[in-house]
Structure 1
């Protein structure tokens, strides 16, 4: 899959999982300037990018996306280093405990929302403010001042099953989809494209630490018509698509990549 992307990418949660794979996918499409953000070091991501691509420029920023000042500073820093932000992927998130509402402590519920929802909103706000200051990369009618992709989930569209009571997580991802739609409507006339990606189950470190292995995971896998979980690269390529001119007529969409899980 090739989209011939040019410009600057800003990716949160880039140290592992889908964020890391998104960096690799965007680099394969031609992006050579990256602001890579994570709470943990992004060393392995940087090493892999530099091993496979020449003339690559990377600024790694350690950040908690729930920290307003840190988020604003990270965007300012990326622009200072690279001049602009063209492709933002707000991917950082946490799973939270597998509990129903009656069993969740308030601080646990609010922590999930602070990262998955408020953290995304803080990033989007800072990115929009910057993108409004910059011109489109080209004169093409399919070009934008900038493209933003927010990490949602199939559980932002459907409710989790009784066997997977991800109440806080589902709440946070429904909110991300609502935010994406509202911002997309407001910003499309201003030349900023905003969409969300809604993966189903993906073989990520987050899935491994959030859910116990064994019968539960096997049962969930069997609900997927493809009978397997997604590879991280498959989701990353969807992110690259949403950033490309191939999706130029898509705004405010919640792109499902769930192996058919939600159609049953």
Structure 2
């Protein structure tokens, strides 16, 4: 059976969590060259080693990346294209929960940091990836299902709905709505250039951060119809679908994978 994916993947926030799971899923489904970016270079190098041990022949480029820095983003994309020759699947996953909570309790510094990482950082990465993809040929000529490049911006179910009053976190919600809006605008602009852009909107996922979040998170799990957190690989596999030809007519979508949370 042919692999779902081929070509080169680029993933931010790849040292752990959804980013690491996505890298594993990309490798499982056929990607043989991966550029992985993260601020935590030691953890990223451990991830790279683990991937190469699991998938012999996989080429992994580990990049120390601060997505809130224009120079760091531009350097990472430039290095990836120079060493791996192209970027076929870009997953802009790096993000933070944010220090700001309800607006009246927030400060400007906390708000700005969340915006810098979750919105400006995603835009900086997407902009650099678009520029690189515009200069490369499609993976396969005359096949509309294999694009010049695919970008998946990781937002959140809170890019589609508001957090409830108990959760709060206006800065996180605002930035994730911004990612969805940016994705839709760029998808319309670049679809005829052979670049396909969509957003992934996960619900609550079993990352170490959420699994240790305590009683408050248990209440949110109970609000989810399936009564559990998503496995990280469930989100990774969903991103594989969005990157693959199986979703080739999907442009500017914000695909929600949340265990039914938002449809209650």
RMSD across aligned positions (CA): 1.4
For the residue of structure 1 that corresponds to 2:26, the secondary structure is: helix
For the residue of structure 1 that corresponds to 2:151, the secondary structure is: strand
Match of 1:234 in 2: 234
Provide the C-alpha distance between the structure 1 equivalents of 2:96 and 2:214, rounded to a whole number of angstroms. Answer: 18
Q: Is the counterpart of residue 249 in structure 1 residue 249 in structure 2? A: yes
Q: Is the counterpart of residue 26 in structure 1 residue 26 in structure 2? A: yes
**Residue 14 (structure 1) shift:** 0.4
Please tell me whether the aligned partners of residues 3 and 244 of structure 1 are also in contact (alpha carbons under 8 angstroms): no
Q: TM-score, normalised by structure 2?
A: 0.96
Please tell me whether the aligned partners of residues 68 and 121 of structure 2 are also in contact (alpha carbons under 8 angstroms): yes
Please tell me whether the aligned partners of residues 98 and 164 of structure 1 are also in contact (alpha carbons under 8 angstroms): no
**Once superposed, which parts of structure 1, at least 4 consecutive aligned residues long, lie more than 2 Å away?**
1-4, 205-209
Match of 2:107 in 1: 105
Provide the C-alpha distance between the structure 1 equivalents of 2:168 and 2:100, rounded to a whole number of angstroms. Answer: 5
Please tell me whether the aligned partners of residues 3 and 245 of structure 1 are also in contact (alpha carbons under 8 angstroms): no
For the residue of structure 2 that corresponds to 1:94, the secondary structure is: coil
Q: Is the counterpart of residue 85 in structure 1 residue 87 in structure 2? A: yes
Provide the C-alpha distance between the structure 2 equivalents of 1:205 and 1:195, rounded to a whole number of angstroms. Answer: 26
For the residue of structure 1 that corresponds to 2:227, the secondary structure is: coil
Match of 1:57 in 2: 59
**Residue 217 (structure 1) shift:** 1.3
1:153 pairs with one of 115, 135, 156? 156
Q: Is the counterpart of residue 13 in structure 1 residue 16 in structure 2? A: no
**1:2–1:65: structure 2 CA closer, same or farther, 3 Å change rule?**
farther
Match of 2:117 in 1: 115
For the residue of structure 2 that corresponds to 1:262, the secondary structure is: helix
Please tell me whether the aligned partners of residues 3 and 246 of structure 1 are also in contact (alpha carbons under 8 angstroms): no
Cα shift readout 1:33-79 (whole Å, capped 9, x = no counterpart): 11110000202311221111121111111111000011011101000
Unaligned runs of 5+ in 1: none
For the residue of structure 1 that corresponds to 2:139, the secondary structure is: coil
Provide the C-alpha distance between the structure 2 equivalents of 1:228 and 1:2, rounded to a whole number of angstroms. Answer: 33
Q: TM-score, normalised by structure 1?
A: 0.96
Please tell me whether the aligned partners of residues 120 and 150 of structure 1 are also in contact (alpha carbons under 8 angstroms): yes
**Residue 97 (structure 1) shift:** 2.8
